[in-house]
Structure 1
Amino acid sequence: MLKWILLGLGLAFAYWWLVLKKKHDQEKALEPRSAPPSQLKPKRMVSCSYCDLHLPEDDAIAWDGRYYCCADHRDNLSQKGWWGRAQWRASPNFDERPASIKPDLVVIHHISLPPGQFGRDRIIDFFQNKLDARTHPYFEQIAHQKVSSHFLIDRDGQVIQLVSVHKRAWHAGASQFFERERCNDFSIGIELIGDGESAFTNEQYTALAQLIDFLAKNFSNLQFAGHSDIAPDRKTDPGKSFDWARIQRLANLSKEQLPFGVEVR
């Protein structure tokens, strides 16, 4: 009799164990499956364009194809002389400033390529020595030239930087600023997309004022002039449509910073 009781208990226990195991397997099957550690995709690391700090891409600020570890680094001037807020379209047309020379002059220009057309792509191509002379008769006259500017401001207010402010861009040519020749040595060039006749846009004035404020925080005693002021026999830009009084007001410039005055010229 005891034998049959033990046998029954054994069968009951086996049945109970099988039922519980089946339930456990079913619950396990419903749980979300995570990839084995060996299959987890590693986080992509990027470098801050200001300080070179390496950090996960998800934690960085993406800006114009670059990365920054914080907004403060994006908004400042890097040690290499590039403004993080600008689009970077590097030109090969630059060289070193003379030893111990820091810029203390900003030269305002205007440019349109071909004349009277305001697209920026061809201007950038021109500054990068990529202008296709076959696409317009005027380009045959200038495609061989090697020129550049530190900054270019589009009609929509977008700021493009082409040369480090620590380097000498080739924008002023033969020039003189109050008996100081070779203005490229000590100046920063800013090109506004325009033809000298059409009015510059509100966005351009706002962007120019912001750029001037930024430069003033990094270079002391800046003065401002037009290309026509330093090369009057050759140049007329930024032209009669440029409102010097307006940029003086927007950028809070003193009379001393505008030695040629604010009259239209």
Structure 2
Amino acid sequence: MALAVAACTTAPARNPLAEWRPSSNFDERRARVIVLHHTEVKGAEAALEILQTRNSGGRVSAHYLIGADGRIYQLVAESERAWHAGASRWGGIGDLNSDSIGIEIDNDGASPFPDVQVEAIIVLLEDITTRLGIPRHLILGHADIAPTRKRDPSAHFPWQRLAEAGFGLWPRMPPAPASDGFDPWLAMRLIGYDLRDPDAARCAFQRRYRGIECRLDADMPDDAGAGSQWLPGDADILHDLQQQLMEMPDAADG
């Protein structure tokens, strides 16, 4: 993806919007996308302890953490490579740690996200994308880039609300019906999903765009069938997302 050059091309080591809580778990990196996570631990302080230290699961970090109260913490400078994405892929990007800003969100993965927290996410996204020239549609969930391993930021995350603020790719409502012969898998690949495990990728898509918390390692709800099959309306949504990408300048570069 060809990126627009931001007015300020040098990112400050410390964001004035955030309280600086440094982590040593990083190395050099650059940013082209933003990846959102949820913490699944009890509170921001517990998340900070994990993100700032070596824990039983290995060293992990993120550039930012947003508490349930809307407080923004910065742990790693934007010019550095935080360790948040793990084995992941999006489109032609195979090392998301090197190409992304990671934002952890204080949430247990089963609860709605408070309004004050969502507003803080939007404020931070506006700040980062403006300064770094990251395309505003390239706001991804951890599950989008690692669908076989991750489910965050969960089906409860308000992707539509972010889209209304101008962030992330979201279908226009109601989406126009997909044409006969439309290939949903081709659209998934164009959007960026890694199709090496098609069911996992479809599950990630349905979690984000249909609000269905599908799990490939557990029984699916009887009325959902998510992950294992396409649902009515999936093709229309994918068709609209594909059309939006094709209408974007330089979309072919991404």
TM class, shorter-chain normalised?
A: 0.5 to 0.7
**Aligned partners of 2:142, 2:151: CA distance in 1, in Å?**
7
TM-score normalized with structure 2 length: 0.61
**Inter-partner Cα distance in structure 1 for 2:71 and 2:9:** 17
Moved beyond 3 Å, runs of 4+: 76-80, 259-262
CA distance in 2, matches of 1:154, 1:186: 24
Measure the CA separation in 1 of the matches of 2:75 and 2:163: 25
Which amino acid counterpart does residue 178 of structure 1 have in structure 2?
G
In the alignment, what sits opposite 2:52? 128
Aligned mate of 2:32, from 104, 107, 124: 104
Distance 1:218 1:79 in 2: 7
**What does residue 167 of structure 2 align with?**
253
- What is the CA distance between 1:144 and its match in structure 2? 5.2
Change (3 A) 1:253 1:126: closer
CA RMSD after TM alignment: 2.4
Q: Choose 215-224 or 196-205, whichever is displaced more.
A: 215-224
Which of 152, 162, 172 is 2:85 aligned to?
172
1:193 aligns with 2:121: no
Contact 2:11/2:78 (8 A) holds in 1: no
Deviations 1:226-258 (A, max 9, x none): 0000000000000011010011113x23648xx
Deviation at 1:143, TM superposition (A): 2.9
Q: Percent identity?
A: 35
The verdict on how the C-alpha distance between 1:80 and 1:210 changes in structure 2, with shifts beyond 3 A counting, is closer
Runs of at least 5 residues in structure 2 that lack an aligned partner in the other structure: 1-7, 171-190, 193-204, 213-254
Code of the residue aligned with 1:165 in structure 2: it is E
| Greater strand proportion | 1
Superimposed CA distance per residue, residues 208-231 of structure 1 (whole angstroms, 9 cap, x where no aligned partner): 000000011111143111000000
Contact persistence 2:25–2:52 (CA under 8 A): yes
- The TM-score, its normalising length taken from structure 1, stands at 0.59
Amino acid at match of 2:40: S
Q: Matches of 1:220 and 1:124 in 2, distance apart?
A: 28
Give the C-alpha shift of residue 205 in structure 1: 0.7
Any conservation in 2 of the 1:107–1:189 contact (CA below 8 Å)? yes
* 1:81 to partner: Cα distance: 2.5
Give the structure, 1 or 2, with the largest relative contact order (CA under 8 Å, sep 6 or more): 2
Aligned to 1:224: 139
Structure 2 CA distance for partners of 1:86 and 1:77, relative to 1, 3 Å: farther
Q: Looking at CA atoms only, which structure, 1 or 2, has the larger radius of gyration?
A: 1
Gaps of 5+ in 1: 1-75, 131-141
Quick one: structure 1 residues 77 and 87, their matched pair in 2 at CA, closer, same or farther if it must change by over 3 Å?
A: farther
The residue type paired with residue 67 of structure 2 is D
For 2:9 and 2:50, locate their aligned partners in 1 and report how far apart those are by CA, in whole Å. 25
